[in-house]
Every structure is written in C-alpha cells, then in structure tokens.
Amino acid sequence: MSAIDAAQEALIREFQELGDGFEQYAYLIELAALLPAMAPEEKTDERLVKGCQSHVWLAMRGENGRFYASADSDTFIVKGVLYLLKKLFDGQPLAEVAAAKVRFLEETEISATFGPDRQKGLGYVIAEMQRFAGEQAGAQ
C-alpha cells in the first residue's frame, strides 16, 4: 500500500468516526484554519479555478521528483478539503500522486461538495493536481 493509500485509509476512518455529515463538515471548517493562506499576490487569475459558489486558487510544483501544492479558497469547507488533499499529496512521489485513486470524498459525507459541474468543482482540482504530477513525473 502506498503512503497516499495508507493516509487515505486513516482519513476515511477518522471522518467516519466523526459521525454525521454536519460533524464532518464542521471538522473540515476546523481543518481550513490549518491551511496556510496564499498571499494575495499569489492569487492570480491563472491560478483561479472558478466555480459558481466558491473559488479555488491552485499553485503546484515538482521538486526532486516529489509533488507540492499550495491552494486557497473563499469558502472554509473547500479550504478544508484542500488541506486534506495537500496532506495526502505534499511530498509524495509525483508518479504516485498521478496514479492515486482519490476516494476519501466519496467514502465520507464530503462527496456532496462536488457540484454537478465537476469541471468547476473539486473534481477538477484533483484532476489538475494529478495531470500536473503526471506531466512532471514524465519530464523528470
């Protein structure tokens, strides 16, 4: 089992122990406070993933074969999810990030955060992270 899979397993258990959806979202809001904020000048239009209800800014880099991201949002629930994604992926090998099966959203109550328009939602953010990791892994 990869480090990402193991971390994901732990995460799913942690969320399931929290109980209902309200408590899981409440926890996400607590986690949001732990996500380092991006500086205003980093929140450029190129990094903006626009949604109807919430915006996400996403910056990524590959360093020594490993993946690093910084991200921010104007809503706390989404920030909480971004914190979890960062926790899963940051410092992990690029190839493993690209190949990971992200399932913690579906296996907790968080999946509803995905809007029907996945291109503009967190599904798009995850796809972007994995696309970037795949490209970098191929290049390095």
Partner 1 sequence: MMETPAQLDIEAVRRDFPILSRQVHGRPLSYLDNGATAFVPEAVLAAVGEQYRAYQANVHRGVHYLSEQSTARVERVRQQVADFLNAEAPEEIIFTSGATESINLVARAFADGILKPRDRLLVTEMEHHSNLVPWQEACRRAGAALDVVPVTDAGELDIEELLRLLDAGPRLLAVTWVSNVLGTVNPLPQIVRMAHAVGCPVLIDAAQAMRHGPVDVRSLDCDFLCFSGHKMMAPTGVGVLYGKRRRLERLPPAAFGGGMIDEVDTQRATWAEPPFKFEAGTPNITGIVGLGAALEYLQSLGLPAVYAREAELIAYAEAQLQERGDLDILGAPARRAGAVSFNLRGLSPYDVAKLLDQLGVAVRSGHHCAQPLLARFGLTGAVRVTPAFYNTREEIDALMDGLDRIAALSQRSL
Regarding 20 and contact with partner 1 (CB under 8 A), the answer is: yes
User: CB count, 10 Å around CB of 126?
Assistant: 19
Query: Per CB under 8 A, which region of 8-16, 20-28, 94-102, 131-139 contacts partner 1?
Result: 20-28
Q: Which of 17, 20, 39, 52 is catalytic?
A: 52
Residue whose C-alpha is closest to residue 25's, from 90, 103, 79: 79
Regarding 77 and contact with partner 1 (CB under 8 A), the answer is: yes
Calpha distance 18→14 (Å, rounded): 7
Evaluate whether 42 touches 57 at the Cβ level (below 8 Å): yes
Answer yes or no: 52 catalytic: yes
Residue whose C-alpha is closest to residue 31's, from 91, 97, 104: 104
What would the two tokens of residue 47 be?
């990094």
Nearer residue to partner 1 within complex by CB, 26 or 95: 26
DSSP 137: H
Nearer residue to partner 1 within complex by CB, 77 or 82: 77
Regarding 21 and contact with partner 1 (CB under 8 A), the answer is: yes
Interaction site with partner 1 (CB under 8 A)? 20-22, 25-26, 29-30, 32-33, 52-54, 74-78, 109, 112-113
Active site residues: 52
